[in-house]
Structures are given as structure tokens and as C-alpha cells.
Amino acid sequence: MTIHPTAVIEAGAVLGQGVVVGPFSYVAHDTYVGDGCHLGPHVTLLPYTTLGAGSRVHAGAVLGDIPQDLSFNDAVSHVRVGQQCVLREGVTIHRGTQPDSVTVVGDGYLLMANSHVGHNARLGKRVIMANGALVGGYAEVGDRAFISGNCLIHQFTRVGRLVMMSGGSAAQKDVPPFCMTRSSTTNIIMGLNVVGLRRAAFSAPERQTLQRALRVLYRSGLNIQTATAKLEQEFDSPLVTEICQFVRGSKRGICKFVKPAAKASGDEAGW
């Protein structure tokens, strides 16, 4: 363990083996820092924060501050960050609002500079948030989603697995799994996240199945209830089932599809 002499470690903080704490960093009571974590200069870990093993936190990040919620009444609540996460400069993650509630960031996460995770949000594994991306309170982000720079996710909104939110886009409605939002728009789907699916080792037949399924969902003219029933009848695919379950579970409605001005080729053809 290496702790810079200017760092402050309060009594009641638990630091694992091999932890490094940089200059002027502050680790409060009732925090847990897992083995092999590295805290850079001017990092702040406030009470009831857990940082998983092997994570790295860069200068100026603040984890576990109280929620930006006027209903908060000083309840004991938590932040839990998974293992092998990277939190870059100026990142903020706020703890839950209600007693014993939790803000959760999954394993293998990358939060780039000045990104923010609001109270009670739940973020899956291997999610990437680029610079300035903001996740509102109670929002949910699925595994391996990519949230580009300056994207906004409204409170209570859900973003599905392997979604790609393009730069500057916003979501006030739920974004179904495997989709891609259009840059600098709100609640607009532009197609399938083909690049992300390829990187996740989805086969060509799997991608084609998703294309056909999303075409039924978005371009058949059917309402959501009828479209999801049709999908379950016509497709024997766990990926399509995942989409149907996500859509049926939506309380805010889902983003709409707007056809790109220029027709895509290859994997994206047919949308």
C-alpha cells in the first residue's frame, strides 16, 4: 500500500492490498477500496462508497456525494463501483436518495472525463461513457452500451444492452437493445448498432435476425402490443425475446425510428 503524505484517510475506511492513494486525495469513513486500486491526485471518496478491485480513479473525481435530489433527508445510502473500472478526470457518481438504496456501476466500466452518474442509477458491465455524458437518477444502462460524448439520459430512462448512443443525442424514452441513436437528436433511433454487434462477436445470421425483428417493431405499422406478439410468433431467438421483454417493460415508451436520409448498405440494408 502506498499513501501520499498529503492524502487523508479517515478512521473507518478499509483499503485493500496494493492500494495507491495520490496527493491530496480524501478517503472518508465507511468506504471500501478493493485490492490494487489506484487513486490519483485530488480524488474524493465519500462515505458509503465501495470501489471494486483493480479500479483506477483519476484526478478530481468525486464518488459517493449526496444526491442532487431535494427529497434527500440525509439517509444512509450507497455507491457501488465494480471491479476493473476506469474513472477519468472530474467524474461524479452520487449515492442513492432513499435509505439503503444504491447507485450501481458494473465491472469493467470506463467513465471518461466529466461524465456523471446520478443517484440510484444502475449501469451494467463493460459500459463506456464518453466525455460529458450524463445519466440521470434511476436510469438504467445495459451491458456493453456505448454512451458517446455529451449524451443525455433522462431520469428513469432505460438504455438496452449493446446500444450505441451517438454523440450529443438524448433519450427521454427507452432505447431498445442493440439499437443506435442519431447524433444531436432526442428519442430517435437510426438503425442497428452493427459495429457494436460485430465487436461483441454476433454472427451475421444473428445480426440479420435483429434487423428483421426491428423492422417489424418499427416499420410494420403495428402497435407495440401487436408487434411484440408477432415477433414472438415468428422468431425463435433469445435476442428477439430480449427486445420484446425490454419493450413490454417500458414505462416511458420507446424511442421512435426515423429512416436516415441516405440508405445504408451491407449489414444496415433493409431498415
Alpha helices in 46-145 (DSSP H): none
4-62 pLDDT per residue, tens: 999 999 999 999 999 999 999 999 999 999 999 999 999 999 999 999 999 999 999 99
Cα–Cα dist 170/223, whole Å = 24
137-150 pLDDT per residue, tens: 999 999 999 999 99
Task: Give exposure, 126-154, as e/b (b: 16+ Cβ within 10 Å).
Answer: bbbbbbbbbbbbbbbbbbbbbbbbbbbbb
The residue type found at 54 is G
Sheet bearing 49-51, strands edge to edge = 14-15, 32-33, 49-51, 78-81, 102-105, 122-123, 140-141, 158-159
Residue 97 near residue 120, CB atoms below 8 Å: yes
The fold of 199-257 is Udp N-acetylglucosamine O-acyltransferase; Domain 2 (1.20.1180)
Q: What is the pLDDT confidence band of residue 271, given thresholds at 50, 70 and 90? A: low
Residue 165 β-bridge partners = 147
205-257 pLDDT per residue, tens: 999 999 999 999 999 999 999 999 999 999 999 999 999 999 999 999 999 99
| Domain boundaries along the sequence of the chain | 2-138, 199-257
154-211 pLDDT per residue, tens: 999 999 999 999 999 999 999 999 999 999 999 999 999 999 999 999 999 999 999 9
Q: Is the pLDDT of residue 267 over 60?
A: no
CATH number for the domain formed by residue range(s) 2-138: 2.160.10.10
Cα–Cα dist 268/260, whole Å = 11
Total residues found in the chain within this entry: 271
Residue 142 near residue 161, CB atoms below 8 Å: yes
Q: How much is the mean pLDDT over the chain?
A: 95
Task: Give exposure, 19-58, as e/b (b: 16+ Cβ within 10 Å).
Answer: bbbbeebbbbebbbbbebbbbbebbbbbbbbbbbbbbbbb
Here the cell at position 124 is 451494467
Burial of 168 (0-12, 13-18, 19+ CB in 10 A): middle
Cα–Cα dist 113/91, whole Å = 6
